[in-house]
Amino acid sequence: MHPDIELREIRVFLTLAVELHFGRTAQILGVTPSYVSQTVRKLESRLGGRLFDRTSRRVSLTPLGEQLIARLEPAHQRLLDVLDETRQAAVGVAGTLRIAMYTESLGGRHLLSIIRAFEDRYTAAHVTLMITGLNRNYLDILRHGQADMLATRLPLSDPDIIVGPVISSEERVLLVARHDPLAQRESVTLADFEDHAVSDAPTFPREMMDALIPPVTPSGRPYRRIVNRNIEEMLLSIAAGRHVHPTVPYFLEHHGHPDVTSVPIDGLPPSQTALAWLTSNRSAAVQAFARTAADVLSRTEPVSHQP
C-alpha cells in the first residue's frame, strides 16, 4: 500500500464509487460531504490522476477510477477478512454484534429471547439493534459494513447474502381503517381489496415487496401504490382510509393505532422473517448468534398467530 494512503481513505473511495453521491457517501460513513470531497482530492493528488468526474448534477468514475475500483475492491475485502479473522482468533466471540431491521416488529416474538441467550452464553459479546426505516434499501446497511446481520422478510435470493434461521412465521392480515367496510369482514381475499391503494417501499428489494404485496390484482391490474416515509405516516394514512396494508398480526400488536384494525387474508402463504448476513462475513459472533437462534427456536412452542 502507498505509505501515505490510509484505510479510511480507501473506504471513502469505494463507498463513493458505489453511491456516486457525496451526500449519501457522507451519511453512510458518518462524516461530512466536505470530508468526502477533501479525501477524494487528496487521494487523487497522491495517485496522480482524477478518479471521478464531478459536475453540479452528477458524479461518475473516470477510466482511471474504474480501473482502480476493479482491482482495489477485492484486495480491500481480502485485507478486511484477514484482519477480522485475526481478531476473531485473538478474542473469540466478543465485542458488539450489530443487527439491523427496517422496523422493530420484524424481530418477532423471539428475537429478544435469542439475544438474551446469546449474551448469557457469550459474556464478552453484546448485541445492538438498528432500525433502518423505510427510505433506504436496508441491504445496503449490510453491504456497507454498518451492520453484521439483518432480520429481514423473505424471500431474499441475493447471491452475496446468506439466509439463516427463520425467526418468525405468521399468517397474513390486512390493515384497514376501522370505518372501512372491510373491517367488518371475518376474512378477505386479494380480490376484495383490489380497488384499494396499497403501501409500497420503492427502495426495498423488489422480490420481498412482491411477496408481501402482490404486484398486480387477481384481475391483472397493477395495484395503486402509496409511498410513506415512516411507519407512523403509514398508519395515519391507513386510519384515514387512503390505503390498506397487507402484513402480519405482530405488526399491529407492536405498532398499534386506535383507528386501524386487521382482517385475516385468505389465499396467501405465511410471511417469514429470517436472519441474514453477507457470504463474505466469517465472523465467529455471526455464526454463534445464528446457532443460538436455532437452539432457542428449537425449544420454542409454536405460537398461534391470530389477529
| Pairing assessment for the beta strands 95-101 and 225-227 based on DSSP bridges | unpaired
Q: What is the residue-averaged pLDDT of the chain?
A: 89
CATH classification for the domain delimited by 93-169+271-298, as one of 3.20.20.70, 3.40.50.1970, 3.40.190.10, 3.40.50.150: 3.40.190.10
In the 8-state DSSP scheme, what is residue 38? Answer: H
Confidence of residue 129 (pLDDT cuts 50, 70, 90): very high
Written as nine digits, the cell of 191 is: 380480490
Q: How far apart are the first and last CA of the chain?
A: 58
pLDDT of residue 304: 38
For the segment 189-222, what is each residue's pLDDT rounded down to a tens digit?
A: 999 999 999 999 999 999 999 999 888 999 999 9
Residues facing 97 on adjacent strands: 127
Confidence of residue 307 (pLDDT cuts 50, 70, 90): very low
For the segment 5-62, what is each residue's pLDDT rounded down to a tens digit?
A: 888 889 999 999 989 999 889 888 888 999 999 999 999 988 889 999 988 788 999 9
User: Which ranges in the chain belong to alpha helices (H)?
Assistant: 7-19, 22-29, 33-47, 63-91, 111-121, 138-143, 206-212, 231-239, 249-255, 284-298
pLDDT of residue 93: 85
- Calpha distance 200→153 (Å, rounded): 15
- Calpha distance 168→142 (Å, rounded): 20
pLDDT of residue 90: 62
From the CB of residue 7, how many other CB atoms can be counted at a distance below 10 Å? 12
pLDDT of residue 282: 81
> Which residue would you say has higher pLDDT here, 244 or 6?
244
Does the pLDDT of residue 305 top 50, yes or no? Answer: no
Element holding 273 (H helix, E strand): strand 271-278
Sign of CA pseudo-dihedral 201, 203, 209, 210: positive
Lowest mean per-residue pLDDT among 48-57, 172-181, 261-270, 295-304: 295-304
- Per CATH, which fold does 172-264 belong to? D-Maltodextrin-Binding Protein; domain 2 (3.40.190)
pLDDT of residue 296: 94
CATH code for the domain defined by 7-89: 1.10.10.10
Does the pLDDT of residue 1 top 70, yes or no? Answer: no
Confidence of residue 89 (pLDDT cuts 50, 70, 90): low
Give the list of residues 6+ apart from residue 182 with CB closer than 8 angstroms, or none: 174, 176, 188, 192, 193, 196, 244, 263
Where do you find CATH 3.40.190.10 in the chain? 93-169+271-298, 172-264
Give the list of residues 6+ apart from residue 87 with CB closer than 8 angstroms, or none: none
pLDDT of residue 30: 87
pLDDT of residue 87: 66
pLDDT of residue 191: 93
